[in-house]
Each structure stands twice: as C-alpha cells, then as structure tokens.
Amino acid sequence: MKQIKYLLFPMVIVMFALLNSCGNIKNSKYITIGMVDGWAEDVAMTHVAKAILDEQGYHVIIQKASTDMILASMNNEDTDLFMGVWLPYTHAKKVSKFPELIHIGTNYESGRIGLVVPDYLPITSIDELNQHQEQFSHRIIGIEKGAGLTSATDKAIIDYKLNYQQINSSTIAMITELQNAMQRKQWIVVAGWQPHWMFGKMKLRFLEDPKKVFGEAEQIKTYSRKSFGKDHPELVAFFSNMHFDDQTMTDLVTKMEDSKNKEATAKKWVKDHSLLVRSWLDKN
C-alpha cells in the first residue's frame, strides 16, 4: 500500500503542474497572432512582429484564418492579437460584434479600398462602369467571400446600379487574373486595396467613388483579446508603438512578396531597420 502511495504522489504532482501550466498559458512567453493569409500587409506586419518578439524571447504562433474566425477566437480568449483590422469602414460591423476586444495600436494610417483598373483603361470613376459593361464582361473580380471589401463591392453594385456580377474566389486568384489581363491589355476591374505590393509592380489606379461607398482613408489597427493587457502589459506598449509610414510599408510588402521565405525576409527587414524597431521597443 505504501508503495502505491509513493507511485501516486509523483503522478499527482505532474498532473497539478500540467493543470497549473494550462491555467497560466496566457501569462507565458507564448503569443498567438491571427493572420489572414493572402492579405499582403497583414502577412508582412505579422511576420515582422514575430521576428521582433522572437528576438525578445517570446514564442510567436501565427494562426491563419478569416477575419471573422480570428475576431471570434480573440473574443473567446484563444487568440491574443490581430494586426489587420481596417477601420472606420471595412471591418466596423465585424468588430462591433465583439465589444470586449481591445484596440491597442494603429499600424498604418493611409489604407484604402475600392475598385481598381489598369491605368491604360480610359475610365476614372465607378459611374462610368455601365458605359463599358460589355468590355468588362459584366464582371468585377473580387476576393474571398465574407471579406469587408467583398461586402462593400456588393453594396457598390447596388448603389451605383451596376449591371455587373462580383466574381469571388481568393486574393491570389484575383491578382493572377489581373496580371494575365494586363499582359494582354484587356479590360478588367478588380476589388483591391492599398497598401499592397501590386501597386508597386503594376500600373493601377482606383476608380473615383463619388457616392463614398468604399469610405475614405482607413486605418489599419491592432486589436487584442480582453485580458491581453493584464497578461502582457509590456507588449501593449510595443504594439502601441508599432507604426508604418507609406514608404516603409511599401518597402516591406514589396520585399515580402518577392520572398520565398517570409520568416527569413522579416528577420532581415528587422535587422535593416534596427533604429525603427528600437523605437517600437522603447518603453519610455
């Protein structure tokens, strides 16, 4: 009997340690960041954040999912952060469903969404699309269903009374179709956004939006789960400081798009921008 007690005691200690570890996992060095794969700016910023925090001794786990799934996971306290919230227009309705999520920083201030065409096309406004519906084959090439940009494009079709259908697949599919059409100098209109590397590699322009369906300038923000600030106050300061201007963002998304190893590219970018990164880490 005594031998059984001696065997059980270590097992109880191990079980207690495991339970205690699970209970304090959010206070550990493990950080989970939600990311929408295919969103150039979100992928770039998330990998840069990971590269910086890895150097600070954290273990960052990137969780790829849709915006809705990431926000819901944060609301359940399962995901720590999301750096790709577009406000005040694109994600306003999505964020409003989860009022306990915390805004902790603005990463970029010159975001824009809308309808985009190659600059060789002779139109400048969404109002002109119905005059060229045959050339465009009555199609607007969109991205994933459920995205804020997709909803705004559906609204634009209604508000402008466009005789068009939005074709949804994925961001990668949209860019591929855009590139193929531009190689042949064909007519194409897509749902796009800036910052994005495609504006650095292709000659494009946004169509004017006189009805302001797509809103005006947007900010890209970082949101966290409710208890993140209590568990990691030192990181709230970091994400509050993390900010990209136009030149820095364009440089980052272009380098990341050209990269076959995003983690390695992010580490090199962090090393090449050490003064900027140091200002983000400054606790004063």
**Domains of the chain in sequence order:** 29-111+217-281 (3.40.190.10), 112-206 (3.40.190.100)
Half-sphere exposure of 248 (CA within 13 A, CB side): 18
127: tokens are 């109002």
Instruction: Indicate the pLDDT class of residue 28, thresholds 50, 70 and 90.
Output: confident
Give the single-character DSSP code of 207. Answer: P
pLDDT in tens, 229-274: 999 999 999 999 999 999 899 899 999 988 999 999 999 999 999 9
Q: What is the sign of the dihedral through the CA atoms of 176, 180, 182 and 186?
A: negative
Strands (DSSP E) contained in the chain are 30-35, 59-64, 81-87, 102-118, 139-141, 165-167, 190-194, 204-206, 218-224
Q: Is the dihedral of CA 236, 238, 241, 245 positive or negative?
A: negative
Task: Of 6-10, 32-36, 131-135, 205-209, give the lowest mean pLDDT range.
Answer: 6-10
Does the global pTM surpass 0.95?
no
What are the φ/ψ torsions at residue 7 (nearest 5 degrees)? -75, -40
DSSP 8-state assignment for residue 164: -
Q: Is the pLDDT at 284 greater than 80, yes or no? A: no
pLDDT at 17 over 60: no
Q: Which residue has the higher pLDDT, 66 or 1?
A: 66
Give the separation between CA 227 and CA 63, rounded to whole angstroms.
Answer: 19
Encoding tokens for residue 160? 């402008």
Return the biggest CA–CA distance within the chain: 90
Whether residue 27 has pLDDT greater than 90: no
Rounded Cα gap, residues 84 and 179, in angstroms: 25
pLDDT at 8: 45
Identity (one letter) of the amino acid at 183? Q
pLDDT at 26: 54
Closest by CA position to 102, among listed 79, 124, 68? 79
How many CB atoms are located within 10 Å of the residue 123 CB? 18
Q: With a cut of 80, say whether residue 23 has pLDDT above it.
A: no
Q: How far is CA 58 from CA 25, 32, 109, 218, 241, in A?
A: 13, 10, 28, 31, 18
pLDDT in tens, 183-207: 999 999 999 999 999 988 899 999 9
Neighbouring C-beta atoms of residue 199, cutoff 10 Å:
20
User: From residue 168, how far is each of 100, 165, 190 by CA, in Å?
Assistant: 31, 9, 10
Give the amino acid at 275: L
Residue 266 structure tokens: 């992010």
